[in-house]
Structure 1
Amino acid sequence: MNQQAKPREVTSREMSDKRPPQQPMPQSALASIDFAKIAWNSKYLLILGMLLGLGCGYFYFSRTPATYRSAAQVQIVESTARNLPVDSLDAGLKSRNLSDEALVMRSEQILRRAAEIGELSTTPEFAGYSSEQIAAVVGGLDLVVGSADENIDSSVFQIRYDSTSATTTQRVVQSIVDAYASHLQDQYRNIGQETIDLIQTARNDVLTKLDKLEAEFSEFKKSSGLIFRGNETTSLHRDNADRYMAQRQNLLIQKAKISGLLAAARKAMIENQPNEAILLALNSSLKIADGDVDLSKAMSPESRWELEKIRKKPLLSAAERFRQERLLPLELERETLVESVGRDHPAIDTINKRIAVIEKMIETVGENETKLNAELDEAMKAAAAAESSLLPSGEYDPRDRILEKVRFAVGALRQEMDAMDSELQVVTDAYEDEMTQARTESDSEIRSAQFVREIERQQQLYDRIVARLDEVNLMSGGDGLKVFPLNTAKLGYQVAPSLAKSLILGGFLGSMLAFGLAVLRELSDRSYHSARDIAEHTRLPIIGHVPVLKPHKFEKGEPGENLDSRLVTFFNGKGQKAEAFRAIRTAIYFSNQSGNNQVLQMTSSTPSDGKSTIAANVAVAIAQSGRKVLLLDGDLRRPRVGKLLGIESEIGTAWAIEQCGPGSTDSNVAIDAAIHPSLVANLSVMTAGERPDNPSELLSSPNFDRLLSVLRTKFDMIIVDTPPLLAVSDPANLASRVDGVLLVVRLRKNIKPAVAQASRMLETLEANVLGIIVNGVGSRAARGYGKYSGSEGEYNYGSSYQYGYGYSYGYTYGYTDGNKNNSYYEEEPTGRKKAKAKKLAKSKLVVAPPKPGDKT
């Protein structure tokens, strides 16, 4: 053969590395699991697991010793006596929290006393144990002490104990109740006398402290300058200061009023306002009636002055008014204090100082008043004389008289204002003196209030202690806490083991274990169970299912004895198995409505998938429909088409490819020489021919494209049988040159990874995959396929059929058929090939290659 230039061979590993990232599956592996189906298909395993669980449960029940329980209920009642709220007591009874009594009952002291009271060392379980050892054993998890209900403040407690002896558990519970009652009696036996002693001590302490405070308070009263009326204190200086402050405020208001009048009169005179209006305003302030002016019209100026002086003269002078309003109250107060506290009291000295200040102020005011009156007399007399000299006829000018009255009123207001200034100065000095004295008494008032509060507090405490002393006899005759048995301990009753609980728990655990094994088996299963599984896994449609094809022997002389007996479409065209291939033919026609799918490639993922047998049967089925079909053997390494159809020739696909070179002029004649007729009408066969040294290069060369172009003109349908995708790179080279690809998947274990990789390779090559043909339905390796639901069909064509083609592809994934020579590249010995060629030459189906001069 002519050697062609060897292009770089594309291996299956390189094709798998170039595939795009796989799209996520519609569902996760765990979410896609139907647990109900798993349970139904594993029902016998679940029943077995449940039976084993029941057995284990019964074994546990029979081997576990019986556990007995006894319980008692008691009520703990607290005494009505309460603790004394005495701050000076160093120790006293504290309020008991009943929830703590459960801890007391479980304490080592109570349990040790229970062992002694109940003589638990005589029981079989505690024989030879000391009280400490019994307490340690009883105080374990078998003892439960707590409230009888969920309310933690309940006074009813339950004591429960579990043991392997019914009598022992009863004795333990009763002993704990008795030991706790004895503990309470010992604790409160001398409570009465102890309480009396504590109360007496507290009363004596409080009484001593109270006497001491009262004595100190009496001494304080004598030494302080405060006035005491009972327990209340009075500060004369603070009271006097308050009165002086009120008087000072009143004087300031009056002074401001007079000052305002004088300012208004001065302003009116400057503005030359009528004197009558000014006099009217001043008279209203001085309280002079208008009729008084009319009575003095006929009088001389000296007489009117004397009359006015007599009329305006007050009943009491300013000095006398001070004496009655200021001095007299102080003298009366001094006499009252002398009678109450004596003449030596500091308060008397304070009042005497105040009286001296007031007397000095009165003397000053009197002198100022006398001096002022004399000055006014001289002024009025001078005014009267002047008036007499101006009007000798004895008639007076009214305007002058009004002006004189204005001047008189202004002088009177000024005199009163001066008197107020003097009085204000005296009052202010007195106020400051009283405030100084009051500040010195503030510390004494604070100390006095402290004495009063402390004495009252100690008195109240003393009264409470004395009142409680009358109630102490109620405590001396009883306990602080009392125990009242409600339900005594009874003979223990069995609580464990329970036959029903043991069987239920054992059966449940056994069933769950079996179900877990079933789920793990499902998760680890790499085989297909339905057409839906294959379609979802590969994202390719399923176009047909092929059952197991059983080979059989032919008798000599029988038609088609040289054909493979698995060509059911030829030998049993009306059978059910042949109908499966006609269904595939229908699917191919349906996908070829456009008429473009003329060249179809038949391949598989792994060896021994039955692709060659299926290709031959599909070719026969299409030929039987009247179409001209060519079955081309593209497996140049391990050809099978010639053996299936009983045709063997050294001129085949490899020879035809070499004849289709660029410069070849008789390629059409060479191609016709490589095409062989078959027993099936409309079906021609092109075997592989002599095996070349470079099959991959031939199939990937341009000559193969020219070969397909010529064959398209000669046949309606061309089916190319190619090696498995994962074995060699030959099918990958053809996938992009054909019109459609059919992928054969044989059902067996652990087939999913290989099928997934093959589908990804076809996707990477952008091949037009028409669909998947499922082979081996009904075989032992495919048991369970199609039986998960009725909607997916029952493909049970018999489980006894075995499918063995003698294929021995070299496949690195570990799929073998038991052949010793498990290499796809292995060639048969030369002698064996020649023997087969001589045998087939005698057959009537062998067609000799045409000579160059023969017609095709």
Structure 2
Amino acid sequence: MSSTARRTVSRILGISAWGLLGMLVGLGVGYFMYVKQPAVFTSTSTFEIAGNPAGSRPASTDPAELANEAPSTQPAGPFLFSQTIIAQAIDSENLLRQLSSNRSATADQVAGQWIAAGNISTEALGSSGKGALLQLQTKAPTPSVATRLNQAILATYQSQNTDNKEFVQWNESIELLTTARAEIQKRQAELEAFAQNLEIPADAVWIDGKVESAAATRLPTLKTELQQLTAQQSALAKRLIEIEAMIAQGSSAEQILVVMGQPVPTSPPEPENASDESAARAYAAELARRERAERRAKWETEVIPLEQELEKLLTKVGPAHPAAVALKSRLAKARDDFGAPGNNETAPADKPNSPSSPDAKEGPADVEAEAPPSNGQRISTLLKQLRAQKHRLDQQRSRAEEEQSQVLLTLTSEEQKLRLADSIQQDQAQQRQLLASVITKLATLEDASPILPAILTTTSPPSEGIQTDPQLRPYLLTGGAVGLALGILAAILLWGASLMTTDGITQEKSTTI
């Protein structure tokens, strides 16, 4: 290697050595400066701010409106944590001496200085379900002081809102009304579901606390019929017992006929001489006349009114209606009892030549056509008729009781369902009135809400203080860079001075030679 190359390498190594030496010295100086700077520790907490930090009226509490309304995301400035609040926080934690070395300074003065220096700040992070999501940062000389200051500021702000009685009462009223509205809406949904599942009879309605239906219309008629059948059955049974008792006691036929309601002729008198044919015929004619008169009277008082009643009923209901069927049975029984002909014959009242017809002619020819029965035969025939009538009454009463039982079951079921449906409708109407009242009160409260500061809710508690200032790296980088530059500069200056010295020596030697 030539001498020139060796000199070049030597110079580069010398400059590098001086630069390295200067960088080391600069790093040392930078670290010394870092150590001399006072340390600053930062504590961070996250909280939600809901309401009106600017002092405006709170938003609606209706969940449907809140769902469509985006929460405010405007960053909260120093007004959120005023100097007064911070001063109260400093006093509450006895942090005055830790934050200021000036023993004459007050908490309010220190709070103003801390705010102006940016040691207490808030930063908007976005939005949450309740409102804006913010971050509070507090700086202090030690980690514990930074954390305590952060906690004190949040607690002081929350306590001020809690101590506001007007706001507390207003907020409690809003919460109660909102809860009541939710409960009413839940109850309305339950009633609606229950009403949909309730089976209401199609032909039954509830009017003025009573059921109006076919069963309700039929029941009074059935009760009347049953009462009539019971009365007839009781009277007939009593009559039969009395007649049978008289027969057992050996009473005369005339007395028995009187009890049975049959006429006993007293005039004209029975002829003493049976050979007197004309007198016998007159006697028989008188008996036949009286019997026809009695049957005609019974027909007019018992059968004809039933026929008229049946005609009126058929104009209102069909022939298959239970009431029409029952009336037809009564009419047929009456016709049988009072000498009515069969189904294919005309009734005695409509048959001119019938013995029971009102228009039948009286005369000897009729008497000769049929011989009058004896009293014993009449009693026997009438007993059979009475027993047959009692049997029919028993059957009719049994059918009427069974039908009444079915109608009562139907009517009871209809009444229960309709009463329940009416109760549900009344409850629904009451719930609608309550809901309207609650909504009106909510709107009134919201319109008259007090102007209050925002509601603060801590979502992340203050963290342990972390050193944020000074940073070691900037000091080391700056010191190292300055030291490197100075070392290189010193090496260049020394190399230049060396060159100048060498050139001077060379010129002196040349001059001497």
* RCO higher in structure (CA 8 A, sep ≥6): 2
Which is richer in helix?
Answer: 2
TM-score (norm 2): 0.40
* Largest Rg, 1 or 2: 1
TM-score (norm 1): 0.26
